[in-house]
Amino acid sequence: MTRELAVDPMPLQINEDGVILIGNTRVPLDTVVNAYERGSSAEEIARQYSALQLSDVYAAIAYYLRHPAEVAAYLHERTQHAAAVRQENEARCPPDGLRERLQARRAANEAAQS
């Protein structure tokens, strides 16, 4: 008798922005890998992100362990993209004096409502 093993599809999806998501959730691979690298177990990660299935967390960790160079390159690319977006946002709205501007806006709104 010959047995066949069922092959489950990899629970990683790439969205339209190029972000790798776990299963049918909005939880990115970055989140799972970072939690795992900080010492969280798959069970802890699944508890923290209730949208994730434990089996998908294990599959994502297994993918990371099997493809460390590819995942490291992806994470580096994501970090660079985040830095570029942050820089763009800060150029558009400089953080210097932000607290004061927000407090002035709040005071103006409160004065207008009085």
Pairing relationship of beta strands 12-14 and 20-22 according to DSSP bridges: antiparallel
Domains of the chain: 12-113 (1.10.10.10)
Q: What is the pLDDT of residue 13?
A: 95
Counting residues of the chain whose pLDDT is more than 90, the rounded percentage is: 70
- Chain segment 81-96, per-residue pLDDT in tens: 999 999 998 888 887 8
Task: Report, as an integer, the average pLDDT of 85-109.
Answer: 86
For residue range 38-55, what is the model confidence (pLDDT) as tens digits? 999 999 999 999 999 999
Q: How far is CA 7 from CA 4, 56, 68, in A?
A: 9, 14, 22
Contacts of 71 (CB under 8 A, 6+ apart): 29, 33, 63, 64
